[in-house]
Chains A and B, each alone.
Chain A
Amino acid sequence: MKKFIHDFEVSLNNQITDDYFALNLKCPVSLPPILPGQFAEVLVGNSAVTYLRRPFSIYDVDYSKNELSLLIKKVGNGTLALSNLKVGETLNLVYPLGNSFSIPKGEKALLVGGGVGIAPMLLLSRMLKEKGFQTDVLIGGRTKNDILEPDKYSAFGNVYITTDDGSMGEKGMVTQHSVFAENVSEYSQIYACGPDPMMKAVARVAASNNIPCEISLENTMACGIGACLCCVVETVDGNKTTCIEGPVFDTKKLVI
């Protein structure tokens, strides 16, 4: 897929909670097709401590408005600067980058997102719904404050929630949720994105039930376009770049 570099205009900066926000960004030209799981490299700029671009999953796309959105957690100088963007300001993106999630082999799919790792699951759930798959979306977080915009997914599938402290949904880890305990064999495909321990736990359950599982990695990277080779992940076929050959990987191929 052809990659682009464009100056987007901020059309909305939605502060979801103290820790999370979503940016709606308007493209100056027609948006190219963007696949679920793909990401953008965002230039923060204007600061010695935010020299490199930051990679973010593309959260949502509205082709009718030429807009895409990014769901971001405030974790450092770069994301903090982005959280302060005002409507009308511009943001330079290199996009759409990386591969995408594959199509399930059977009817029913489980999408698991932990915290801000839920971001790529919105586009994925939309696509799966459009293609006629049954989709369950399981959203996990430490507390209810980490469960981000769960209502957005209800148009595309059943939504389930877990929190570590039980402040929302079932209490416990995502893999302790009843969808895993009771129905996991119904799924023909599991997709996960979130903290490493969560993705590893999901991958283990998927493997023990012989269900194909894809996860989206967020290795640190510089270029995002396969030039620097900083973002590699060890696979059974050798080192692969997260930016070009990922960020989505079949867990069977990863050396975990």
Chain B
Amino acid sequence: MPDLSVNIHKLLLKNPVMSASGTFGYGLEFDDFIDVNKLGGILTKACTSKNRDGNKYPRMAETPSGMLNSVGLQNKGVDYFIETIYPKIQNYDTHIIVNVSDSTVEGYMEVAEKLNPLEKITGIELNISCPNVKEGGMAFGTSCPMAGTVTKAVRSVYGKTMIVKLSPNVTNIAEIAKAVEDEGADSVSVINTLLGMAINAEKRKPILSTITGGLSGPAIKPIALRMVWQVSKAVKIPVIGLGGISNATDAIEFLLAGATAIQVGTANFVDPQVCIKILDGIEEYCNRHGVRNVNELIGALEC
């Protein structure tokens, strides 16, 4: 049996398969379908300093091999998370990493500071790449100075593992990755959704209430793979790959491109058991290729 464990900074993951933020709730939503404890980690729905209602319906449009969403970080805020959600998820035997977002640097710091004492929250993922909010979100992730500023500020109040989730809506993602690495990021998640748009031609209207939204699903996989490859060559910290991963072969491709771990996102909507199928498939691949330790695959692309 191959050793599937990988390290993201101080976190030892039992395997490289994690659920992506915003596609897996808090894990509880999937308890009927899979044993969530088998995953390497869970990235929770985004958590902000205050309650956010999110954007108006419609928030979703199906697109070829994917979907657009403009949920807009709907959540009840960090205090509600700590009081109501944390007690329900703290007994999961896997890494629970909270996705942190906000409109201001101070807001990011407040959330991170409040999460820092929670024993079972072993890390945070700074979301500087949400394309669906008017203030903050992607604005922090599309310039090196802004990305560096928010990373540095949160680093000053958060001592545990800090992952930064990068936006693909930039000219040079490797530069952004280096900027957050320089300011203390322990890892980067690559990539968040791509800014997109859908139109109803019959009605001459946009489908989403926000007109534009974030594109995800298999449609974006080649872009994500390219960006993981570029970032992993540019930084020393571990890269977590995501973007359209739907099966074990996709996951292996991301590892070969340089990702240390992967996140499964939109595919959870199509198959609530897909994370476990991907995990089983990675093990099967390792067995078939004589790979004793999954770390042998990381960045093992032969060019």
- Measured CB to CB, the closest approach of chain B to A215, in angstroms, equals 15
Q: Which listed residue, A43, A49, A227, A230, touches B268 by the CB 8 Å rule? A: A227
Give the nearest-CB partner of A225 in chain B.
B29
Q: Do the beta carbons of A227 and B270 come within 8 Å of each other?
A: no
- Top 8 A-B pairs, shortest CB-CB distance: A230-B60, A223-B269, A222-B269, A227-B25, A3-B32, A48-B65, A48-B64, A227-B29
Bound complex: CA A43 to CA B269 (Å): 10
Q: Do the beta carbons of A228 and B71 come within 8 Å of each other?
A: yes
Chain A 197-239 interface 0/1 with B at a Cβ cutoff of 8 Å (1 = within): 0000000000000000000000111111111111111100011
Q: Do the beta carbons of B25 and A51 come within 8 Å of each other?
A: no
Q: Knowing that A228-B60, A230-B59 are A-B contacts, what are 20 other residue pairs whose CB atoms are under 8 Å apart, sorted by A's residue number?
A: A2-B32, A5-B33, A5-B271, A50-B62, A51-B62, A52-B269, A53-B270, A219-B58, A222-B266, A223-B269, A225-B25, A227-B23, A227-B24, A229-B45, A230-B58, A230-B69, A230-B71, A232-B59, A234-B56, A234-B57
Q: Do the beta carbons of A232 and B268 come within 8 Å of each other?
A: no
- Does A4 lie at the interface of the complex (its beta carbon under 8 Å from any beta carbon of B)? yes
Number of contacting residues on A, CB 8 A? 30
- Does A94 lie at the interface of the complex (its beta carbon under 8 Å from any beta carbon of B)? yes
Chain B 65-81 interface 0/1 with A at a Cβ cutoff of 8 Å (1 = within): 11101010010000000
- Measured CB to CB, the closest approach of chain A to B47, in angstroms, equals 13
Q: Do the beta carbons of B67 and A232 come within 8 Å of each other?
A: no
Chain B 104-124 interface 0/1 with A at a Cβ cutoff of 8 Å (1 = within): 000000000000000000000
Q: Do the beta carbons of B273 and A5 come within 8 Å of each other?
A: yes
Bound complex: CA A5 to CA B277 (Å): 14
Bound complex: CA A234 to CA B268 (Å): 25
Q: Do the beta carbons of A53 and B29 come within 8 Å of each other?
A: no
Number of contacting residues on B, CB 8 A? 35
- Name the A residues within 8 Å of B25 (CB-CB): 225-227
Q: Do the beta carbons of B64 and A49 come within 8 Å of each other?
A: yes
Among A48-107, those with CB < 8 Å from B are 48-53, 94
Q: Do the beta carbons of A220 and B60 come within 8 Å of each other?
A: yes
- Name the B residues within 8 Å of A238 (CB-CB): 53
Bound complex: CA A222 to CA B63 (Å): 12
- Does B206 lie at the interface of the complex (its beta carbon under 8 Å from any beta carbon of A)? no
Bound complex: CA A233 to CA B209 (Å): 13
- Name the A residues within 8 Å of B22 (CB-CB): 228-229
A51-B62, A52-B270 known; A239-B74 Cβ under 8 A: yes
Q: Do the beta carbons of A4 and B32 come within 8 Å of each other?
A: yes
- Does B272 lie at the interface of the complex (its beta carbon under 8 Å from any beta carbon of A)? yes
- Measured CB to CB, the closest approach of chain B to A236, in angstroms, equals 13
19 contacts between A and B (CB under 8 A): A2-B32, A5-B33, A5-B271, A49-B62, A51-B66, A52-B62, A52-B269, A219-B57, A220-B61, A222-B67, A223-B268, A225-B25, A226-B29, A227-B29, A228-B269, A229-B22, A229-B59, A239-B53, A239-B54
Q: Which listed residue, B29, B69, B270, touches A43 by the CB 8 Å rule? A: B270
Among B1-48, those with CB < 8 Å from A are 22-25, 29-30, 32-33, 45
Q: Do the beta carbons of B24 and A231 come within 8 Å of each other?
A: no
- Max count, chain A CB within 10 A of own CB: residue among B45, B57, B58: B57
Chain A 1-27 interface 0/1 with B at a Cβ cutoff of 8 Å (1 = within): 011110000000000000000000000
- Name the B residues within 8 Å of A225 (CB-CB): 25, 29-30, 272
Bound complex: CA A92 to CA B130 (Å): 32
- Name the A residues within 8 Å of B217 (CB-CB): 51
- Measured CB to CB, the closest approach of chain A to B20, in angstroms, equals 11
Q: Do the beta carbons of A222 and B33 come within 8 Å of each other?
A: no
